[in-house]
């Protein structure tokens, strides 16, 4: 095997964010850019001969070229076994599962829910042997290596074919091309009551799954249509495309428009769901009914014992700090611990590994469990189907009953995308300077109980993460949270999370926008959003 050592100079911007290194595609296509980062990553991962590396991506533009580069560099850096999904495809949760089946780590190519294509976004991240995103200590070390890199290694390999299943010996490295769906589908069948879900569809229950021309298409067709008997055509936008058909593959009320149109129209089906670019996010809809991701987590936690994989109960639950406290109420009733972590799935990893939690989730359409170490879109869909089959009730009935039992957390998130960084930093600086004076003051009829910049100490490994978002907590359980996105690629994105808690039965059925109107005004006023960003409306409201 001929290995070439290429002289290079470091790039200053190779610092991974909330979920890996994410940049505009042309940035990754610059000479040496991907190679530099991969070299830094492989050196830090330090896989030994005999260990396996999983590689796969969501199929977006540049996926295949990047995988080719990574295979050649892995070989040149002494890795002897790589496992790649056919066509270079693996959903993020399926990659996590494959890694957990015995690999030392994995490289996932995706920019998640960000648009793809020559002018879209691309991304790369490393998952460790537990199947989860590498912790901050690892990503910081990779960034430090990348900032000092002067050479990378790449091997000449004989021709190989990513579209052919099976083992291909390539000199010093062995390539295994695997079916991206099979192992994942088996895992789902081991967790959920497929017979009950099959019977549900056989009784005429109808759903729509919008795969948004992203990675879950083949997974959803196989599991929902082939294995569970949902009618052909249940899955729409099922063919993964390099540019996601020009869409924005983010499953929310704004971007999953095909699904939303149907599910809020006169011909709405019983159940609707969507997932994102790399298949780890989910949106759940009932007939003309939206389930907030925070509520979804709480409902799944409350109903977990109806599902075979969780029949023994939950060890604990966790949510990211900006996620509504709906699941906290369930945990309290169940008498199990509830952890509040910073934004980003990587913070759930230690808790899952230590067996302290079973379910976890984020308000950003992410839900998951200890079955893998990533959030998992289709898993959430199957969980809901299992609960619906077991309870024999509609999505809306299940959620309304949930509110009646546990109370309701009204919740909304305002995103201001592509704000000039200076203005966004100004907003955060203003809020930080106001923190000390807030407790005890009255805002929009509520009293501030505490205000801080969220800091977290991991209860398992003791690692700390500071400045994870500004929290304004009110005495009645309402909260306002502000933070800057760590996944955007253009300017800054300001996220404002607004939540109030309601337990009075007559006040559980309000429109969210009505219930939160005053609190939204308080939130935007406190941060001087309009004055400082010039934006009178957010880019997206979820």
Q: How far is CA 53 from the centre of its chain?
A: 22
Q: Cβ contacts of residue 379 below 8 Å, gap of 6+?
A: 93, 188, 191, 367, 368, 369, 371, 372
Instruction: Give 345 or 474: the residue with its C-beta nearer to ligand G1P.
Output: 345
Query: At closest approach, how far in Å is the CB of 338 from ligand G1P?
Result: 17
Q: Under a CB-based contact definition with an 8 Å cutoff, are residues 427 and 532 in contact?
A: yes
Angle at 202 between CA 198 and CA 207, to 5 degrees: 80
Residue 83's SS3 state is strand
Q: Which residues contact 314 (CB under 8 A, 6 or more apart)?
A: 301, 304, 334, 336, 357, 358, 359
Q: Using the rule CB under 5 A, which residue among 35, 193, 280, 415 binds Zn ion?
A: 280
N- to C-terminal Cα separation, the chain: 52
Q: Least distance to Zn ion from the beta carbon of 211, Å? A: 13
What contacts 529, CB < 8 A, 6 or more positions away? 416, 427, 494, 496, 535
CB of 434 vs ligand G1P, minimal distance in Å: 22
CA-to-CA dists, residue 96 to 57, 123, 279, 378, 523, angstroms = 12, 16, 12, 14, 37
Kindly tell me which of 112 and 139 has the beta carbon lying closer to Zn ion.
Answer: 112
The entry of ligand G1P, Zn ion, none that residue 39 binds, CB within 5 to 8 Å by partner kind: none
Nearer CB in complex with Zn ion: 344/477: 344
- Residue 320 interacts with, from ligand G1P, Zn ion, none (CB under 5-8 Å by kind): ligand G1P
Cβ proximity to ligand G1P: between 428 and 438 the closer is 428
Q: In what order do the strands lie in the sheet with 359-362?
A: 338-341, 317-320, 359-362, 366-369
Examine residue 210 and tell whether it contacts Zn ion (CB under 5 A). no
By beta-carbon proximity to Zn ion, the closer residue of 107 and 330 is 107
Q: By the criterion CB under 6 A, which residues form the site for ligand G1P?
A: 18-19, 112, 320, 343-345, 362, 364, 366, 485-487, 495
Q: Is 193 in the site for Zn ion (CB under 5 A)?
A: no
Q: Which does 485 bind (CB under 5 to 8 A by kind): Zn ion, ligand G1P, none?
A: ligand G1P
Q: Does 328 bind Zn ion (CB under 5 A)?
A: no
Binding to Zn ion (CB under 5 A) within 20-49 occurs at none
Q: Which of these ranges, 71-79, 184-192, 270-278, 305-313, lies near Zn ion under the rule CB under 5 A?
A: 270-278
- 276 near Zn ion, rule: CB under 5 A: yes
Residue whose CB is less far from Zn ion, 24 or 206: 24
Minimum Å gap between C-beta 59 and Zn ion is: 13
**Phi-psi sector, 88: left (phi>0), alpha (psi -120 to 50), beta:** left
35 binds, options Zn ion, ligand G1P, none, Cβ within 5 to 8 A by partner type: none
- Residue 328 contacts which entry, ligand G1P, Zn ion, none (Cβ below 5-8 A, type-dependent): none
The DSSP letter of residue 17 is B
374 makes contact with Zn ion (CB under 5 A): no
By C-beta, is 185 or 321 nearer to ligand G1P?
321
> Which of 52, 77, 112, 412: binder of Zn ion (CB under 5 A)?
112
Least CB distance to ligand G1P at residue 369 (A): 16
Point out the catalytic residue in the list 112, 364, 369, 465. Answer: 112
Measured CA angle at 391 (ends 204, 542), to 5 deg:
85
Give the H/E segment covering residue 448: strand 446-453
Q: Nearest Cα to 230, choosing from 256, 261, 257, 199?
A: 199
Name the residue number minimizing CB distance to Zn ion.
112
Residue 495 binding partner per list ligand G1P, Zn ion, none, with a CB distance cut-off of 5 to 8 Å that depends on partner kind = ligand G1P
Candidates 44, 225, 278, 499: give the one binding Zn ion (CB under 5 A): 278
Residue 135 CB, shortest distance to Zn ion, in Å, is 19
Distance CA 263, CA 329 (A): 29
112 counts as catalytic: yes
Looking up tokens 């793809």 gives: 116
Question: Is 376 an interacting residue with respect to Zn ion (CB under 5 A)?
Answer: no
Does 362 bind Zn ion (CB under 5 A)? Our answer is no
Q: Are 152 and 35 in contact (CB under 8 A)?
A: yes
From the list ligand G1P, Zn ion, none, pick the one residue 278 interacts with, judged by a Cβ distance below 5 to 8 Å according to partner type.
Zn ion
Report the run of H or E that residue 319 belongs to, with start and end.
Answer: strand 317-320
Asked if residues 92 and 249 have their Cβ atoms less than 8 Å apart, the reply is no
**Of the two residues 486 and 491, which places its CB atom closer to ligand G1P in the complex?**
486
341 makes contact, choosing from Zn ion, ligand G1P, none, with CB < 5 to 8 Å by partner type, with none
Of the candidate spans 105-113, 264-272, 353-361, 460-468, the one that interacts with Zn ion by CB under 5 A turns out to be 105-113
CA 352, CA 425: separation in Å to the nearest integer?
Answer: 34
Residue 90 Cβ vs ligand G1P, minimum distance, rounded to whole Å: 16
CA distance 130 to 133: 9
Closest separation in Å from C-beta 249 to ligand G1P: 12
Q: List the single partner that 282 binds among Zn ion, ligand G1P, none, CB under 5 to 8 Å by kind.
A: none
In the complex with ligand G1P, which residue's Cβ is closer, 364 or 409? 364
How far apart are the C-alpha atoms of 386 and 383, rounded to whole Å?
Answer: 5
The whole-angstrom separation of Cα 512 and Cα 411 is 7
CB of 278 to Zn ion, least distance (A): 4
Closest CA to 294 of 342, 362, 346, 382: 362
Instruction: Name the residues annotated as catalytic.
Output: 112
Which residues of the shown chain bind Zn ion in the complex (CB under 5 A)?
112, 276, 278, 280-281
């Amino acid at each position: 095997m001929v290995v070439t050592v290429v002289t290079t100079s470091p790039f200053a911007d190779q610092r991974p964010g909330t979920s890996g290194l994410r940049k505009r595609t042309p940035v990754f296509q610059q000479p040496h850019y991907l190679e530099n980062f991969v070299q830094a990553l492989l050196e830090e991962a330090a896989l030994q001969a005999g260990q396996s590396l999983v590689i796969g991506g969501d199929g977006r533009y540049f996926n295949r070229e990047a995988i080719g580069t990574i295979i050649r560099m892995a070989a040149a850096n002494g890795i002897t076994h790589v496992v790649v999904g056919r066509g270079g495809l693996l959903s993020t949760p399926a990659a996590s599962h494959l890694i957990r089946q015995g690999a030392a780590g994995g490289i996932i190519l995706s920019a998640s829910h960000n648009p793809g294509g020559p002018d879209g976004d691309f991304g790369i991240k490393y998952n460790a042997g537990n199947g989860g995103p590498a912790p901050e200590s690892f990503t910081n070390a990779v960034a430090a290596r990348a900032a000092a890199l002067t050479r990378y290694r790449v091997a000449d390999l004989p021709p190989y074919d990513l579209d052919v299943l099976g083992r291909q010996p390539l000199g010093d490295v062995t390539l295994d091309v695997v079916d991206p769906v099979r192992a994942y589908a088996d895992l789902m069948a081991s967790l959920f009551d497929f017979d009950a879900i099959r019977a549900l569809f056989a009784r005429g229950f109808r759903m729509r799954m919008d795969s948004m021309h992203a990675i879950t298409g083949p997974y959803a067709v196989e599991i929902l249509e082939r294995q569970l008997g949902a009618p052909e055509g249940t899955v729409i936008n099922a063919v993964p495309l390099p540019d996601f058909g020009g869409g924005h593959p983010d499953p929310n009320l704004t971007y999953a428009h095909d699904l939303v149109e149907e599910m809020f129209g006169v011909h709405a089906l019983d159940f609707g769901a969507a997932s994102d670019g790399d298949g780890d996010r989910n949106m759940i809809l009932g007939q003309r009914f939206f389930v907030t991701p925070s509520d979804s987590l709480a409902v799944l936690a409350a109903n977990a014992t109806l599902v075979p994989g969780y029949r023994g109960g939950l060890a604990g639950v966790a949510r990211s700090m900006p996620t509504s406290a709906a699941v906290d109420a369930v945990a309290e009733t169940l008498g199990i611990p509830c952890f509040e972590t910073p934004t980003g799935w990587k913070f759930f990893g230690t808790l899952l590994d230590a067996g302290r939690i079973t379910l976890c989730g984020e308000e950003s359409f992410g839900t998951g469990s200890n079955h893998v170490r990533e959030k998992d879109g289709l898993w959430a869909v199957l969980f809901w189907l299992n609960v619906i089959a077991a309870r024999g009730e509609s999505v809306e009935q299940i959620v309304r009953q949930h509110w009646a039992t546990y109370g309701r957390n009204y919740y909304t998130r305002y995103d201001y995308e592509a704000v000039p960084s200076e203005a966004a930093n100004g907003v955060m600086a203003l809020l930080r300077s106001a923190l000390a004076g807030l407790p005890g003051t009255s805002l929009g009829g509520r009293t501030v109980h505490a205000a801080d910049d969220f800091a977290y100490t991991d209860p398992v490994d003791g690692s700390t993460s500071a400045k994870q978002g500004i929290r304004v907590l009110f005495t009645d359980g309402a909260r306002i949270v502000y933070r800057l996105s760590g996944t955007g690629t253009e300017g800054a994105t300001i996220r404002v999370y607004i939540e109030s808690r309601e337990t009075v039965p007559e006040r559980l059925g309000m429109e969210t926008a009505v219930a939160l109107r005053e609190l939204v005004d308080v939130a935007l006023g406190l941060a001087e959003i309009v004055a400082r960003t010039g934006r009178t409306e957010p880019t997206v409201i979820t």
